[in-house]
Structure 1
Amino acid sequence: MSKNIEDIKEKRREMFREYSKTKDENLRAQLIEEHLYLAEILSKKYSGKGIEYEDIFQVASMALIYAVDRYDIEKGYEFSSFATPTIIGEIKKYFRDKGWTIRVPRRIQELSKKITIARTDLTKLNQETPTVADIANYLGVTEEEVLESMEASKVYLPQSLDISYTNDGDNETNLADFIGQDERYYDQIEINDFIEKSMEVLNEVEKTVLIDRYFNKKTQREVGEKLEISQMTVSRIEKKALKRLKREMENVIKI
């Protein structure tokens, strides 16, 4: 199974090498299609936060194309490690630039900006969070208009997840508190690349022992039977391989 996966990865590496030389459009299209899963995974990570998944996926797909064009396989890292931050960066930029995610009247948008400024000014002036009535009096509008604008502003996506919102004039909550859990496959992408890069220092027997022991959950006896060696030999190989892997991981982290 692991051999088949490695064969696929090596095939893709060869495709990237060939594309870097020829810039063949058909090869480019194939590389993009085979890595669309990255755009899908990362789009799901940011869906449900005020912008439709289809829009996010389109942005992520464009970023993937950009990553395919810029990727240099000779630098030694996996494509997913290069493409992931590129895609995330474009998605976050889209969230910042998108602003109002549904169409609202311009008067509401303009009043919302004034309310933000008024809240800051009144907080500095009175050393406390202003009420709706305070803001309405400061701006010369009705409390209903303030409430309407504040309700509409819920569809507005601020640039920073650290921006605070007040609740009933007392409690403050960061936007980040409303964000759901991260997509677990995103972390797995980076972890897999990290492990694969570190395991390059091991020989085939050492790789087999660690993969069977820690990924396939086999006992030392079962691994020994597979490799036709004693359980004690498997134990020595495992300990040696773990030490080498630990040193290599520490070196990768330093890089």
Structure 2
Amino acid sequence: MKHVEALASAQLDSQVGVGELPWIEDAGKVAPKDARNLSKLFFDRLQLLEEGTREHQYARNTLIEMNLSLVRFAGRRFMNRGDGDMEDIVQVGSVGLIKAIDRFDLSREVEFSTFAIPYVVGEIKRYFRDTTWAVHVPRRLQELRVDLAKAKEELAVVLDRDPTVKEVAEHMELSEDEVIEGVVAANGYTAGSLDMAADAGEAGLAQVEGRTVADFIGEPDPGMETVEDLHCLNPLLGRHTDRERRIIEMRFGQEMTQSQIGEVLGVSQMQVSRLLSCTLAKLRTGMVADD
């Protein structure tokens, strides 16, 4: 404790403290060992200060800055994921640190670092779970992905080769279907860009230089919709009279006008219009019913 008092005295350097706490100019530069001891002093005082006061704000902010090293320590284990930089991880982990500071009680007789790490790690894990998956999958499968990666790594060391699905399933005491489900879900963790270079083997081409994945993706074919519509119309036309089918054929097959159709059938243009409208209405109703 004498070392802490000496440190506080040196940092004070003729400045006035806040309440009964020493003034620390740059709490982020306090060494981790000194931060542990100073944190006890600040926590002890924080519990007595009224929330919202200048003294309470100073004590709380200083505790946050002094213990950011805990966040960096916990965040290093997530750096090998390759989908987040340290700055983002520290930012997210700081939320957990603040929650831990607000909920910590010295009477627990436990080190603050031991109490805070689960809060920090929990926030970082939540961040990766909620924001880094390209396709949303259930949390159970997200966690299974991590377990599968560990199991494959362990088996690869023992077997000196990539393990099979059966071997992974036995190692994890899961069914092969569960392992396959986890592997399929893991494919949703990252998504490739459509602008990335196409692979010749996957594209089935000898040369794809300068071509992207988007160049090989099919587009909707309007002709397919026409085929589907004609396929649905065929049985519906069979339910109509020969006269109705003939009117449809002349109007849409031969593209004759209503007047020309009337001359062929020996009826007026108005009658052709009524017959055509009635026939089309029945066909339209039949198409909707079939859909």
TM-score tier, shorter chain, comes to: 0.3 to 0.5
Question: Greater relative contact order (Cα 8 A, min sep 6): structure 1 or 2?
Answer: 1
Larger radius of gyration between Structure 1 and Structure 2:
2
TM-score normalized by the length of structure 2: 0.35
TM-score normalized by the length of structure 1: 0.40
